A and B are shown apart, each in its own frame.
Chain A
Amino acid sequence: MREQAVVTGLGLAAAGIDRVADLLDALEDDHEPEAFDPRSRLGERRSRYRDAATLMALCAATEALDGIPRRGDDLGETAGVVVSSNLGNLDTVCRVVDVLRRRGSAEALSPMDLPKASSNVIASTLAIEFGCRGVNLTVCNGASSGTDALYLAGVAIRAGRARRVLVVGVEASHPPARRLLEAADGGDGKARLVGGAAAVVIEAASSASSRGARTYAQIDAYAHHMGKSPVAGSIDAALSRVGERRLGLWIVPEEAGSPAGVEGSGLPFDGGMPPRILDLSMRFGLLYGALGVFQCVAASLWLESAATNDGHGRTAVLTSGSRREGASSLLMRVGGDGRSQCQSE
């Protein structure tokens, strides 16, 4: 019997949202996307020598791990880390080559930049900070990267590699990241990258239930699809994998344009009620590699509050990706053998 993967911790590093539980309310207001300052939350000592993406990841992870039992500072060898970030360390890379050119010698470089020249610096910093000695992955997989990271965390749980995996999606809004992403988006100024991080703790259901953990939702099925209709194709494939036909919530990819495309995309919705549709870009701007994990936080909160509902309110699908690279969809459902917070209260 394979382990089921459930969500037992949530965290965010996003401006204007002090507690992750406020996310769904924050999506209702019409704030413009704004930048998050991790240094004020972490303090000078924890911020020193670290890049912006790592700092935001630390903020979100700290909140997600609040309440997860640890021995000292150590989550141990069954605790893994999976990070999704595409642009995380581009600031260091560009700054180092600038210094090389300006000063004309590698002797002018700072050795403190050495770990940051490698893209896994976020995941290794999280592992060090929280004592996660299990599998440690940095997923740099483009627009679907966050969803793919959640999938790989689930794989690590189901394969018995880890009992608990900290998943963080993060993009920082440094000049190279903005230049690259906003230009790719047409350069019309509509797409803004303000940066942010989201974190979830994915845990083996047996481990969550044995410690009576607050369980938000379960991770059920993943599918990736390339081809003519990658979004619809990936959703259809994810639902088919577990024979699910009802969908309560769909969180759309950044490239979706208008959510009105849902019906037109030939999605297999039935059961009468159309799904609720969420577009996180209204509140957060471009999230790119962080998107899937932000979506997972929103879906987890939504599913937890919907846990007592019947019918279509018990499933959510997150989709990310692009027309060029294909789309990834992850199906989540109310889960955790009835131990979710709402049911136990």
Chain B
Amino acid sequence: MDDLVITGAGVITSIGRGRLEFFEALCRGESGLGPLAYFEPRLFKQRSAYEIPGQTEPWRSSRLLCLAARQALEDAGVEPDEQGMVVVVGTGLRELRSVELWHTRGDELRPERLHFADALREDLGFEGLTLTLSNACAASGFALGVAEDLLELGEAERVLVAGCDTLTESMFGLLDRVNAVELPALRPFGAPPKGVLMGDGAAAVLLERRDAARARGRSPLGVVKGVGMSCDAYNATAPRQDGIVAAMRQAQRRARIAPADVDLLVAHGTGTEQNDRTEALAIGEVFGRRTVPVPVTGLKSMVGHTSGASGLVGVVAALEAMRRALIPPTVHVSALIDEARDLDLVAGDARAAEVRVAQVNAFGFGGLNAVVILERPGDGAGA
């Protein structure tokens, strides 16, 4: 099987849009945390989030998706009406924010606007197959895995893989209910107080076979070596170490690499007690035998938890890290939780480092695990 390569990427988060601007903001350690822009603050303990302010409602998720999709297609030099293209969208909360506005404010809602084919057709003129996968916070990692399968089976010529999410009041409210106190920031692997803070975001990449990219004269941004997809089948919200370990090993096996080959791990790192402890222990279990620990970073300290978009947001950051030999930092973390003491967390400032192989973790409610292995173009066999 020919390698699958990414030839275009787009992203929009609270700290910037476009892969270049976004990555520079990450490396400066910027934070997108701001006062709640769309909900009534008095209903919640937490009165801040990593939102993208200044947008009109409803249909914020759809608009973010279309922005990221357009960037990725332009970056790749592909027209939206190109034959043989399939779109796979991973999302945790679909347009459920628009459902809330329909329910509480009487905004218009048609059933087909809950997912994204209609928006992509209206905005981009895309008339092919769009698949919307609602796979919690691992959604866009799963979307990339499905895209990998579609291309390997010859079911598509190229796949636009995307992730998008905006905060819903219901999810924000329920997380507020379980967070003990108001949090000053989301701190992946950081010492207490612990908890997750949500963010808005979308990301998209154009995935195709290497020979197809070569025939179009495009040089890849990165190679997708393998995606692991699994479910803990254990708990509705809590993660489980052996499930995460299995997903990481599955991804590395599919990518035909060893833990020692990984130069950067973009962690899921949600800042919650349960995720951070479990993920840190799982990383220790998989990577523990290395003589030099793998550098780990947690982007959510800057963009918040962008739910279903977070996996691809991590992929876009990892692509740039490979291209520029620079690892974005994890900010607002001064002390680590016990389980993360052995992690080489890139804290404070960006770190210059050669990154040939990067791993991106994305986990979600229900024990969903998606793990992506990327390789710098030109480093692999057959390059």
Q: Chain A CB within 10 Å — which of B100, B104, B170 has the most?
A: B170
- Kindly list chain A residues whose C-beta atoms are within 8 Å of the C-beta of B134: 118-120, 138-140
Could you tell me the distance between the alpha carbons of A100 and B170 in the complex, rounded to whole angstroms?
A: 8
Interchain CB contact (< 8 A) of A128 among B102, B127, B142, B233? B233
Contacts between chains A and B (CB distance < 8 A), count: 214
- List residues of chain B with CB within 8 A of the CB of A155: 146, 149-150, 153, 155
* CB-contact partner of B114 in A2, A74, A106, A140, under 8 A: A140
Contacts of A325 in B (CB 8 A): 112, 117-118
The reply to whether the CB of B289 lies closer than 8 angstroms to some CB of chain A is no
The CA-CA distance from A325 to B116 in the complex, in Å, is: 10
Given known A115-B236, A133-B233, contact A288–B171 (CB-CB < 8 A): no
> Are B236 and A117 in contact, CB atoms less than 8 angstroms apart?
no
Within 8 Å CB of B92, what residues of A? Answer: 118-120
The answer to whether the Cβ of B110 comes within 8 Å of any Cβ in the partner chain is yes
Residue A142, interface by CB 8 Å: yes
A322 CA / B43 CA spacing, docked (Å): 39
Are A140 and B111 in contact (CB-based, < 8 A)? no
- For the complex, give the distance between the alpha carbons of A120 and B230 in Å: 14
Interchain CB contact under 8 A, A118 and B171 = yes
Residues of B within 8 A of A74 (CB): 233
How many residues on A have C-beta within 8 angstroms of the other chain's C-beta atoms? 69
A residues less than 8 Å from B99 (CB atoms)? 90, 93-94, 176
Instruction: Give which listed residue, A94, A137, A140, A142, contacts B100 with CB less than 8 A.
Output: A94
Q: Which of B121, B127, B177 contacts A107 (CB 8 A)?
A: B177
CB < 8 Å neighbour of B93 from A81, A118, A324: A118
**CB distance B115 to A86 under 8 Å?**
yes
The segment out of B27-35, B326-334, B349-357, B365-373 that lies at the interface is B365-373
Known contacts: A93-B170, A107-B177, A128-B233. The answer to whether A141 contacts B115 by CB under 8 A is yes
Asked if A124 and B365 sit within 8 Å, CB to CB, the answer is yes
| B142 neighbours in A (Cβ, 8 Å) | 135-137
Contact of B170 among A111, A117, A176, A226 (CB under 8 A): A117
Tell me which residues across on chain B come within 8 A of A98, comparing CB atoms.
103-104
Q: How large is the interface on B (under 10, 10 to 19, 20 to 34, 35 or more residues)?
A: 35 or more
Minimum distance in angstroms from B57 CB to a CB of chain A:
14
* Cβ contact within 8 Å between B178 and A142: no
Q: Is there a chain A Cβ closer than 8 Å to B265's Cβ?
A: no
Q: A118-B171, A133-B230 are in contact. Are A322 and B112 (CB under 8 A)?
A: yes
| In the complex, chain B residues 85-112 whose Cβ is within 8 Å of any chain A Cβ | 92-94, 96, 99-100, 102-104, 109-112
Residue contact B229 to A115, C-beta cutoff 8 Å: no
Alpha-carbon distance between A35 and B174 when the two chains are bound, in angstroms = 30
Tell me whether B237 is interfacial, beta carbon within 8 Å.
yes
Please pick, from B93, B153, B366, the residue contacting A124 in the complex, using a CB distance under 8 A. B366
> Can you list, as one digit per residue, whether each of B229-258 has a CB less than 8 Å from chain A (1) or not (0)?
111111111000001001000000000000
The CA of A128 and the CA of B233, in the complex, are separated in Å by 4
Min Cβ gap A152→B in Å is 7
The reply to whether A104 and B233 contact each other, CB–CB distance below 8 Å, is no
Judge whether B236 and A152 touch: CB under 8 Å: no
CA distance A2 to B234 in the complex (A): 31
Q: Which chain B residues lie closer than 8 Å to A134 at the CB level?
A: 229-231
Q: Mark B141-185, 1 if CB is under 8 A from A, else 0.
A: 010011001101101000000000000111101111110000000
Per-position 1/0 for A140-169, Cβ under 8 A of B: 111100001000100110110100000000
Scan residues 247-287 of chain B and give those whose CB is less than 8 A from a CB of chain A: none
Complex contact A106–B235 (CB within 8 A): no
Q: For residues 127 through 143 of chain B, which have their beta carbon under 8 Å from a beta carbon of chain A?
A: 127-136, 142
- Contact check, B364 vs A118: say whether CB atoms are below 8 A apart: yes
Interchain nearest-CB distance for B360 vs A (Å): 18
Identify which of A97, A148, A324 contacts B112 (C-beta below 8 A).
A324
**Cβ-defined partner of A137 (8 Å) among B135, B232, B243, B367:** B135
CB within 8 Å for A180 and B111 given contacts A115-B236, A117-B171: yes
Q: Is there an interface contact between B103 and A94, defined as CB atoms closer than 8 Å?
A: yes
Please report the C-alpha to C-alpha distance between residue A137 and residue B175 in the assembled complex, in whole angstroms. Answer: 23
Instruction: Decide if B236 touches A109 in the complex (CB within 8 Å).
Output: no
User: What's the Cα separation between A86 and B100 when bound, in Å?
Assistant: 15
CA distance A328 to B131 in the complex (A): 11
User: Does A330 belong to the interface (CB within 8 Å)?
Assistant: no
B305 CB to nearest chain A CB (Å): 12
Interface pair A121/B111, CB less than 8 Å apart: no
- Verify if A47 is at the interface (C-beta below 8 Å from B): no
Residue B38, interface by CB 8 Å: no
Contact A117 B149 (CB under 8 A): no
Interface status of A227 (Cβ within 8 A of chain B): yes
Residue of B nearest to A224 (CB): B129
Looking at the assembled complex, report how far the CB atom of A158 sits from the nearest CB atom of chain B, in whole angstroms.
Answer: 6
> Are A86 and B117 also in contact (CB < 8 A) when A114-B175, A124-B365, A138-B134 are?
no
A119 to B149, alpha carbons, bound, how many Å?
A: 23
User: A181 on the interface (CB 8 Å rule)?
Assistant: yes
Q: Establish whether residues A120 and B118, one from each chain, have CB atoms under 8 Å apart when the complex forms.
A: no
Interchain CB contact under 8 A, B146 and A128: no
Closest to A162 in B: B229
Instruction: Determine whether B341 belongs to the interface, using a CB cutoff of 8 Å to chain A.
Output: no
With contact pairs A86-B111, A128-B235, A155-B146 given, residues A120 and B131 touching in the complex (Cβ less than 8 Å): no
Chain B residues 311-363 with CB under 8 Å of chain A are none
CA–CA, A46 and B210, complex, Å: 49
Is there contact, CB below 8 Å, between A93 and B100?
yes
> Is B216 engaged at the interface, CB distance under 8 Å to the other chain?
no
A105 to B174, CA, bound (A): 11
In the complex, are the beta carbons of A100 and B43 less than 8 A apart? yes
Residues of B within 8 A of A131 (CB): 233
Nearest CB of chain B from residue A92's CB, rounded to whole Å: 7
Distance of B367 from chain A, by nearest CB (Å): 6
Q: List 30 A-B contacts (CB under 8 A).
A: A86-B111, A90-B99, A92-B170, A93-B96, A93-B170, A97-B100, A100-B169, A104-B42, A106-B44, A109-B173, A111-B174, A113-B174, A117-B168, A118-B92, A118-B93, A118-B136, A119-B93, A119-B94, A121-B366, A124-B367, A128-B235, A133-B230, A135-B230, A136-B135, A136-B231, A139-B133, A159-B152, A161-B229, A181-B111, A224-B128
Residues of chain A having any CB pair with chain B under 8 Å:
2, 74, 77, 81, 86-87, 90, 92-94, 96-98, 100-101, 104-107, 109-111, 113-115, 117-121, 123-125, 127-128, 130-143, 148, 152, 155-156, 158-159, 161, 176, 180-181, 184, 224, 226-227, 288, 322, 324-326, 328
- Supply 7 further A-B pairs (C-beta < 8 A) apart from A104-B43, A134-B229, A324-B118: A94-B99, A97-B173, A100-B173, A120-B135, A133-B230, A133-B233, A155-B155
